Amino acid sequence: MATATTSFSTFTPTTSSSPSLKVSPKTLVSNIGFLSSKTPSKPLKTRSNVASGSALGARMVSAPPAITKPPTLLDFETSVFKKEKINLAGHDEYIVRGGRDLFHLLPDAFKGIKQIGVIGWGSQGPAQAQNLRDSLAEAKSDIVVKIGLRKGSSSFNEARAAGFSEESGTLGDIYETISGSDLVLLLISDSAQADNYEKIFSHMKPNSILGLSHGFLLGHLQSVGLDFPKNISVVAVCPKGMGPSVRRLYVQGKEINGAGINASFAVHQDVDGRATDVALAWSVALGSPFTFATTLEQEYKSDIFGERGILLGAVHGIVESLFRRYTEDGMSEDLAYKNTVECITGIISKIISTQGMKAVYESLTEEGKKEFLTAYSASYYPCMDILYECYEDVAAGSEIRSVVLAGRRFYEKEGLPAFPMGKIDQTRMWKVGERVRAVRPAGDLGPLYPFTAGVYVALMMAQIEVLRKKGHSYSEIINESLIESVDSLNPFMHARGVSFMVDNCSTTARLGSRKWAPRFDYILTQQALVAVDNGAPLNQDLISNFFEDPVHDAVKVCAELRPTVDISVPANADFVRPELRQGSN
Question: Active-site residues: which are they?
Answer: 214
Q: Which CA distances in Å does 204 have to 98, 133, 197, 209, 266?
A: 29, 22, 11, 8, 20
Closest CA to 139 of 181, 111, 119: 111
What gap in Å lies between CA 529 and CA 497, rounded to an integer? 24
Beta bridge partners of 486: none
DSSP string computed for 234-298:
EEEEEESS-HHHHHHHHHHGGGSTT-S--EEEEEEE-SSS-HHHHHHHHHHHHT-SEEEE--HHH
Query: Terminus-to-terminus CA distance in the chain, angstroms?
Result: 11
Cα 405 from Cα 407, distance rounded (Å): 5
Kindly give, in sequence order, each residue whose CB lies less than 8 Å from that of residue 573, ignoring residues fewer than 6 positions away. 248
Q: Give residue 21's Cα distance to chain centre.
A: 22
Separation of alpha carbons 276 and 18, rounded Å: 9
Amino acid at 327: T
Contact at 8 Å (CB) between 213 and 185? yes
Q: At what angle do helices 313-328 and 296-308 cross, to 10 degrees?
A: 20
What is the C-alpha separation between 249 and 371, in angstroms, rounded? 36
Listing DSSP states for 453-466 in one string gives HHHHHHHHHHHHHH
Write the DSSP symbol of residue 68.
P
Residue 229 exposed, middle or buried by CB count within 10 Å (0-12, 13-18, 19+): middle
User: Taking every pair of C-alpha atoms in the chain, what is the biggest distance, in angstroms?
Assistant: 72
Nearest to 481 by CA among 465, 469, 493: 465
